[in-house]
Amino acid sequence: MDDMVLAALRKWPNVPDCRGWLGLDARGDWYMRDDATQAAGPFPRSKGSRILHDKLRAFIERNYLPDPEGAWYFQNGPQRVYVELEAAPWVWRLHACGAATPALMSHTGQPAVFESAWLDDMGRLFLQTDLGFGLVHTQDMTLAADAVTSGHWIPQDAPFASLPQKFGYVLSPAQKSPGS
């Protein structure tokens, strides 16, 4: 977490949380969701405005964390801005590195180590890693398919609806009341 964020938390420790205003889609893109967007429907049906500013994205990604209940948030100074997730808290990018399996990098730029593979009922590939659970980016499915067909990754089947509970994350903190 950034030093300036830690300082703001010390200075203003009781700022209310913000819910519904930030989303992370299945491609690792962040979305701002104003009142009109939220009124139009839940994320990802109503996404909002994609955040394109590189420094803002980097600030969000450096300060992106889970709470003890598995709801992910961006610590924006003294305020927690909870994140609506389309599929999972991480989106994995794969890179050919000359090894038997591709290198993994999170949508926030953190390297990760493969632990297990999961295939949902929509045919999407998820990976459990040392950082946590996430979806493989659609542009990287060729590398993922190579890891699967070579036997390095052996996906287990799981319905999408079971994944948040199985891997301990909350898709919509806005729909989950605090403390429930």
User: Where in the chain is CATH 3.10.540?
Assistant: 3-85
Strand order in the sheet with 111-112: 111-112, 103-106, 90-95, 133-136, 125-129, 114-119, 156-157
Distance CA 133, CA 98 (A): 24
Strand, helix or coil for residue 83:
strand
What gap in Å lies between CA 101 and CA 145, rounded to an integer?
10
3-85, CATH topology level: duf1285 like fold (3.10.540)
Using alpha carbons, select from 20, 12, 2 the residue that is nearest to residue 174.
Answer: 20
pLDDT tens, the chain, 180 aa long: 677 766 766 666 677 889 999 999 999 999 999 999 999 999 999 999 999 999 999 999 999 999 999 999 999 888 899 999 999 999 999 999 877 789 999 999 999 999 999 999 999 999 999 999 999 999 999 999 999 999 999 999 999 999 999 999 999 999 875 544
pLDDT at 1: 67
Q: Which of 95, 158, 169, 99 is nearest to 134 (CA)?
A: 169
